[in-house]
Chains A and B, each alone.
Chain A
Amino acid sequence: MLRTVGVSSVKELLSQIPQELLYPALSLPAALSEQELTAHVKGLAAKNKPLVNFIGAGCYEHFIPAAVPALASRGEFLTAYTPYQAEASQGTLQTIYEFQSCICALLGMDVATASHYDGATALAEGVCAALRITGRKQVLIPAALHPHYKQVLHTYLHNMADVQIKEVPFKGNYALDMDALKQNLSSESSCFVLAQPNFFGGLEEAEEISALVHAAGALLVTLVNPLSLGILKSPAEYDTDIAVAEGQVLGNPMSFGGPGLGIMAAKKAYVRQLPGRMVGIAKDKQGRRSFVLTLQAREQHIRREKAASNICSNEALCALQAVIYLTLLGPQGLKEVAELNVSRAHELAVRLDALDGYEVKEMPFFNEFVLECKLPAWKVIEKMAEKGIAAGYALDKDFDGFEHRLLICATEMRTEADIANYVRAMEAI
């Protein structure tokens, strides 16, 4: 082969690379044996201090049945490539189709995409779709939206001419200020982002908000917790136009912050404005049921700069884990998990509120709430960590004047004993 291309050695092919960069001397220690390496890594892992986890803030600890990773880690799923070649990807395409179907059933919406990177980018894409659909330039978001989601949204809309993002404030109990929403809605508003629950865990008056938003001719973009839909009304039931979510809570581990699972679904009328991939069902030449990526004229490899988005990826493996999780639990199982979340979080909230110097403001919530503390939140976190408890998320970084406020989450993973220990530990601070 070298002779065919007219060189005498492989080195000659690399002659344009500066010599000193070609084979640099790396002073690495000698390789460890597998046994030595295992012992070394175990030693590193032992430095972790496992704390009982009461932190939510967008990434949640839920129980994942062993069947989920056992099935999802099968080679056929784990190493499957992007399914652009339908005839070689029927298995992958079918799992994505099932995922889309589950999402439509769970959210009550007409169509769903194959998934996106995470909830934050799904929200940004949903807002972009609302801007395109309405042709209006203003985006209304709640001040009680997850700070990271706000940042991602700003990044996405940063260079869009004339587009403005306006925050609608929350009241003392962290609920959306309805009067402020009314004042801000105008014929320039493309959409309002309803975070249900909001960043503080609180549940908003969805129907009232939907009515106000639609009366102004704007779209309702709802950001939901998919697990909460086991007991809460689906976004479709309050006339949501575009529903988005972070699917990590469905059978996906926290993994120190990622990967996430972006979920997007919409009313049928908006299907051509949805970004990313969509799997459809079709018939092959022999009339057999088959699956295929569909409505691809929305995507950049066909529409180029006029595409709905520059995104052409999805989170197939995370979506698969979500589908397996939902299939194992079913509607009844999901309801039971959601009820446990509500029950544990409310038990903790009631008992903490009863302590002197601690208050939980009145507002309906799912599995997360704000605790106003007599001590600064960071102090509470420090002291509780000494007792083996990760007490919650300190809110002062993201909200001015919140030095004494802690965001606490209790999922079905927190036992009654965990709750009791938390209260006892807090009392002793």
Chain B
Amino acid sequence: MYNQENCRFAATHEWAAKEGELAVVGISNHAQEEISDIVFVDLPKVGTQVKVGQNCCVIESVKSASEIYAPVSGEIVAVNEALNDDPALVNREPHAGGWLFKIKMANPAEMDALLDFAGYQATIQK
């Protein structure tokens, strides 16, 4: 759905996919592998205003609690309620059913500042 080739990536492992004036946000496959079995997703409240780079969500796994940062600025207009009952969906489908939240972008140009897939791959290769 939001496949790796069409997404833009933040160095902090979030991806953003353009859907009209919205950015759908999730975490990369690499990230879900590193985090391992996810047990809880602390989703942001709909209506929250976020700035690019601001911590807005927490993913809790069996070994850690990871901060998730907004890849673009705007307003949280939707969150993936399915994760309340099935947080492991993020592990199984990080680029599809395991999306986290949708932001109504305040500044769509911020997408261009994100990395493309190859650029992101390069950061995790190091």
Chain B proximity of A285: nearest CB distance (Å): 14
Question: Can you spell out 10 A-B residue pairs with CB atoms less than 8 angstroms apart?
Answer: A272-B40, A272-B42, A297-B40, A297-B60, A297-B64, A297-B65, A302-B64, A302-B65, A303-B65, A306-B65
User: Nearest chain-B residue to A135 (Cβ)?
Assistant: B45
Q: How far is the CB of A283 from chain B (nearest CB, A)?
A: 14
CB-based nearest A residue for B61: A297
| A272 cross-chain contacts in B, Cβ below 8 A | 40, 42
Of chain B, the residue at the smallest CB distance from A302 is B65
Which residues of chain A have C-beta atoms less than 8 A from B64's C-beta?
A: 297, 302
Inside 8 A of A306's CB, which chain B residues have their CB? 65
Q: Determine the residue in chain A with the shortest Cβ distance to B60.
A: A297
Q: Complex Cα distance A306/B64, Å?
A: 13
Q: How far is the CA of A369 from the CA of B64 in the complex (A)?
A: 50
Q: Which A238-290 residues have C-beta < 8 A from chain B?
A: 272
**Which B residues, 64 to 80, have Cβ-Cβ distances below 8 Å to chain A?**
64-65
Interface residues of A (CB under 8 A from B): 272, 297, 302-303, 306
Listed residue (A272, A297, A303, A306) with the most chain B CB atoms within 10 angstroms of its CB = A297
Closest CB of chain A to B23's CB: distance in Å? 25
Distance between Cα atoms of A53 and B42 in the complex (Å): 51
7 residue pairs, one from A and one from B, having the closest CB atoms: A297-B65, A297-B60, A303-B65, A302-B65, A302-B64, A272-B40, A297-B64
Q: Interface of chain B, helix or strand or loop or mixed? A: strand
A303–B61 alpha-carbon span in the complex (Å): 12
A53 to B113 alpha-carbon distance, docked (Å) = 74
* A-side contacts of B40, CB under 8 Å: 272, 297
List the interface of chain B (C-beta within 8 A of A): 40, 42, 60, 64-65
Residue on A with the closest CB to B66?
A: A297
Give Cα A303–Cα B64 distance, bound, in whole angstroms. 8
Chain A residues near B65 (CB-CB < 8 A): 297, 302-303, 306
A271 CB → nearest B CB, Å: 10
List chain A residues, Cβ under 8 A from B42. 272
- Rounded to whole angstroms, the CA-CA distance of A302 and B42 in the bound complex is 15
A306 to B65, CA, bound (A): 10
Q: How far is the CA of A302 from the CA of B65 in the complex (A)?
A: 7
Distance from A49 Cβ to chain B, minimum over Cβ atoms (Å): 55
Chain B nearest CB from A293 CB (Å) reads 13
Q: Which residue of B lies closest to A299 (CB)?
A: B65
When chains A and B are docked, how far (Å) is the Cα of A306 from the Cα of B67? 10
Considering the chains assembled together, what is the distance between the CA atoms of A306 and B42 in angstroms? 13
Chain B residues with CB below 8 A from A303, complex form:
65
Q: Which residues of B contact A302 (CB under 8 A)?
A: 64-65
For the complex formed, measure the closest distance between the CB of B14 and the CB atoms of chain A, giving whole angstroms. 18
Residues of A contacting B60 in the complex (Cβ-Cβ under 8 angstroms): 297
Whole-angstrom CA separation of A272 from B40 in the bound complex: 10
Question: What separation, in Å, do the CA atoms of A153 and B40 have in the docked complex?
Answer: 31
A303 and chain B: residue at smallest CB distance: B65
Q: How far is the CA of A29 from the CA of B65 in the complex (A)?
A: 57
**Residue in chain B with minimal CB distance to A298:** B65
A272-B40, A272-B42, A306-B65 given; 7 more Cβ-contact pairs under 8 Å = A297-B40, A297-B60, A297-B64, A297-B65, A302-B64, A302-B65, A303-B65
CA distance A297 to B64 in the complex (A): 7
> How far, in angstroms, from A152 to B75 measured CA to CA in the complex?
39
Closest to B62 in A: A297
Smallest distance from the beta carbon of B34 to chain A beta carbons, Å? 16
Closest beta carbon of chain B to A286's beta carbon, Å:
19
CA distance A272 to B42 in the complex (A): 10
Q: How far is the CA of A355 from the CA of B64 in the complex (A)?
A: 66
How many whole Å from B66's CB to the nearest CB in chain A?
Answer: 10
A68 to B60, CA, bound (A): 40
Give, as a whole number of angstroms, the nearest-CB distance from A275 to chain B: 15
Report how far A306 CA is from B60 CA in the complex, Å: 13
CA distance A306 to B55 in the complex (A): 12
CA distance A58 to B47 in the complex (A): 45
* Residue ID in chain B nearest A294 by CB atoms: B39
**Given the complex of chains A and B, what is the CA–CA distance between A303 and B40 in angstroms?**
14
